[in-house]
Amino acid sequence: MIYLDHAATAAPRREVIEAMWPWLTSEFGNASSHHERGRRAAAALEDARERVAAVLHAHPGEIVFTSGGTEADNLAVKGIALARRERRATRTRVVTSAVEHHAVLDSAADLARYDRFTAQQVPVDADGTVTPDAFHAVLSEDDDVAVTSVMLANNEVGTVQDVAALAEIAAEHDVPLHTDAVQAAGTLPLDVRALGVSALSLAGHKIGTPPGIGLLWLRRGTPLRPLLSGGGHERGRRSGTSTVAGAVGLAVALERAEAEREDYGRRAVALQDRLIRGVLSAVPGALLTGPDPLAGGSRLATNASFCFPGVNGETVLVDLENRGVLVSSGSACSAGSTEPSHVLTALGLSPEIAGTAVRFSLGRDTTEQDVDTAVAATADVVGALLRGT
């Protein structure tokens, strides 16, 4: 099988599993316990926190370990919004882009439904980009924004946002900007100071840990109301027994991803170019969605997504799997949904065209042969479907 669904999840790294193993077996102590085994676990947890912070150019005390990207997004959007409204009751607007992950969009919707906030989305252009002008216009409507969230790189079409420029605008309006950087890890620089944001979310399983560990970086001084009540773990910001093994694994995975980022990025760019050129030349009518990197568009080097008008994206996915190629019809987090992708419709595509989408996402082990095989299989599958054979 050729696996081209790395945006959904990646294989755990062997060195990550090896680093986690002692904390899953002999060193299984609770980091909150005051005996020797607990103290060793606590030391390992804080060492992992320091190592993660070093990669992000952050202070260790700003790292909050979570169960993954979804929890980190929820904690950032809901936690900051609720805390900011506590300080000033008129801060009742939550602003996101129209192409955010559902963890962000649904968090904003929950605040509107249950906590009397207003959820508002900034429109994007045909590439999925939030322009500074559009962002400024929405924030300028009133002095009532509690929090805003714009993802660093889109999980469906790979659009890379100029988050640093947007963070400057947010700062002018005294609004914390959170960015979901889950897809960006290992591909884009994650220097939180350079990005200028107030909060940033990551998930380990995209870069080589098993699912179940992530983090929220929260700039010192950013108000946050915890969403989980309990023992006051993570400096009172996220209660729950600490996942020491997960934190250790995340530190190793993030360090390795950052060390390999530039070399991996160059190789991914070449593979992406090969994939996009191949599909557009081999599949009549194929439409690249999102920015065109061949024309200088700002897109993740690991992402190539297409629409194939006249066919059903889910059918293409199944037929490609039958030929040994594993891809996605969109965000894996929306699997089973019969609704067209909100990302593609925000780009201006009709629901009918959005329903033909297929996403290819490259990984560390993807080869030129994998790409060539996938291109040939896609041409055969789409051609057969269009012919009705």
Burial class (CB in 10 A: 0-12, 13-18, 19+), 80: buried
Share above pLDDT 70 across residues of the chain, in percent, rounded to a whole number: 97
Of 201, 225, 255, the one marking the end of a domain is 255
> Do residues 200 and 177 both lie within one domain?
yes
Share above pLDDT 90 across residues of the chain, in percent, rounded to a whole number: 95
Domain of 144 in residue numbering reads as 14-255
Average pLDDT in the 214-236 region?
A: 96
Residue located via tokens 């322009």: 131
pLDDT at position 388: 84
pLDDT at position 330: 65
**Residue range 118-128, pLDDT digits in tens:** 999 999 999 99
CATH number, residue 134: 3.40.640.10
Number of domains comprising the chain: 2
Q: Which of 54, 333, 379, 386 is catalytic?
A: 333
Residues 122-155: b if buried by 16+ CB within 10 A, e if exposed: bebeebbbbbeebbbebbeeeebbbbbbbbbbbb
**Residue range 301-328, pLDDT digits in tens:** 999 999 999 999 999 999 999 999 999 9
Cα 384 to Cα 27: distance, rounded to the nearest angstrom:
55
pLDDT at position 337: 56
Collapsed DSSP state (helix, strand, coil) of residue 153:
strand
Average pLDDT, the chain: 96
> Do residues 75 and 147 both lie within one domain?
yes
> Do residues 27 and 150 both lie within one domain?
yes
> Do residues 193 and 335 both lie within one domain?
no
Looking at the DSSP bridge assignments, the partners of residue 148 are 95, 177
Average pLDDT in the 149-177 region?
A: 98
Of 205, 220, 255, the one marking the end of a domain is 255
**Residue range 46-99, pLDDT digits in tens:** 999 999 999 999 999 999 999 999 999 999 999 999 999 999 999 999 999 999
> Do residues 55 and 84 both lie within one domain?
yes
Closest CA to 337 of 357, 322, 320, 321: 357
> Do residues 198 and 333 both lie within one domain?
no
Whether 357 shows a pLDDT value over 80: the answer reads yes
> Do residues 185 and 305 both lie within one domain?
no
Whether 334 shows a pLDDT value over 70: the answer reads no
Alpha helices in 57-162 (DSSP H): 69-87, 102-114, 132-139
> Do residues 251 and 366 both lie within one domain?
no
> Do residues 194 and 247 both lie within one domain?
yes
**Residue range 195-213, pLDDT digits in tens:** 999 999 999 999 999 999 9
Q: Taking CA 332 as the corner, what is the angle to CA 184 and CA 283, rounded to the nearest 5 degrees? A: 90
> Do residues 275 and 376 both lie within one domain?
yes
> Do residues 131 and 233 both lie within one domain?
yes
Alpha helices in 283-367 (DSSP H): 313-322, 342-346, 351-354
pTM: 0.96
Whether 216 shows a pLDDT value over 80: the answer reads yes
Whether 389 shows a pLDDT value over 80: the answer reads no
Cα 389 to Cα 379: distance, rounded to the nearest angstrom:
13
Check if 307 is active-site: no
Whether 234 shows a pLDDT value over 90: the answer reads yes
CATH number, residue 366: 3.90.1150.10
> Do residues 237 and 276 both lie within one domain?
no
Of 238, 255, 272, the one marking the end of a domain is 255
Collapsed DSSP state (helix, strand, coil) of residue 179:
strand
